[in-house]
Amino acid sequence: MSLNRWESIKRFLHFANNNQAIPGADKLYKVRPFLNALLNSFRNIPVDEVLCVNEQMIPFKGKSNLKQYMPNKPKSWGYKVFVLADQHGIVHNFELYTGCIQPCPGHPDIGASGNIVLSLTSNIPTNMSFKICFDNWFCGVDLQVILERKNIHSVGTVRQNCLAGCTFTYDRTMKAKGQGMHQEKTTNHDGVHLKAVKWYDNRPVTLLSTFLGANPNSEVQRWDKKEKKIVHIRRPNIVSYYNRSMGGVDLLDSLLALYRIKIRSKKWYHRVVFHMLDLTVKH
């Protein structure tokens, strides 16, 4: 295909009727029919038992009011996408961030991070003991209680200030006792049994779950700086499960980065469209 031919195709590439668009009603109206068609296809894929929710970046540095900056991501600038995927990177639901996250219909407003998880998991069958993993930006007591009432189990890293009334041993005390120390607290909140575990590895990490606890422990190898040798430390079961189940979206990102379609265009939605094509080919 010649360059002029490709430029002509790209110039007239449209996914919605501009004459039917309502200004300000939907920031994604340019690609909304295309995204809805993909969502219907992804939601029809058989769902695995273990799922994870995480953020994904569509690389983009052009001018757009939808562009976000996330310094901890490999691609810091771009469009933010919230993705529900399984351990193998298969996407079952996604939502492109447009600056505002509304409460999920039929559920109370529990904040932007909790609302997006409820929205992404709305198509997951209830009362079938599915398991959802997420990091500390999403995790909270209110979210896990709502999911557990639908018989959807959950586990995630959690920030200490999200656990009101729950106090753990100070970090420096756990560090003095050495790697592998952990502490577990349990409670019932609105009829839901919750378990919080704090584990000290190279640094402390706290996890919250409705179906997992610290036992049974397993052994992992770590390098001891003082003794200058590899030592065996104890790792709680909740940490092992989280590490094994949380990497679905990261795996998807690594596969997409290998053969990403690189396109230069002044139209902001072109980057979204070709990213979704990469996502579809990966499946």
Task: At 256, list the tokens.
Answer: 């997409």
Q: What is the pLDDT of residues 234-271, one digit of tens each?
A: 999 999 999 999 988 999 989 898 888 888 888 888 99
Q: What residues contact residue 195 under an 8 Å CB cut-off, 6+ apart? A: 184, 185, 186, 208, 209, 210, 212, 213, 214, 238
pLDDT of res. 16: 86
Helix (H) or strand (E) holding 122: none
Q: Indicate the angle between helix axes 141-149 and 112-120, nearest 10 degrees.
A: 20
For residue 171, the model assigns a pLDDT of 87
Count CA atoms closer than 13 A to 277's CA, side-chain side.
12
For the chain, residues with pLDDT lower than 50 are none
pLDDT at 23: 66
Q: What is the pLDDT of residue 17?
A: 84
Alpha helices in the chain (DSSP H): 3-11, 32-43, 112-120, 141-149, 171-177, 237-245, 248-258, 268-282
pTM over 0.85: yes
In angstroms, rounded to a whole number, what is the distance separating the alpha carbons of residues 191 and 177? 35
Between CA 249 and CA 53 the distance in angstroms is 8
- Are 84 and 51 a contacting pair, CB within 8 Å? yes
Residue-level pLDDT at 138: 92
Domain extent listing, the chain: 11-135+246-283, 152-245
Task: Provide the pLDDT for residue 14.
Answer: 87
DSSP for 206-268, please give it: EEEESS--SPSPEEEEEEETTTTEEEEEEE-HHHHHHHHHS-HHHHHHHHHHHSPPP---SSH
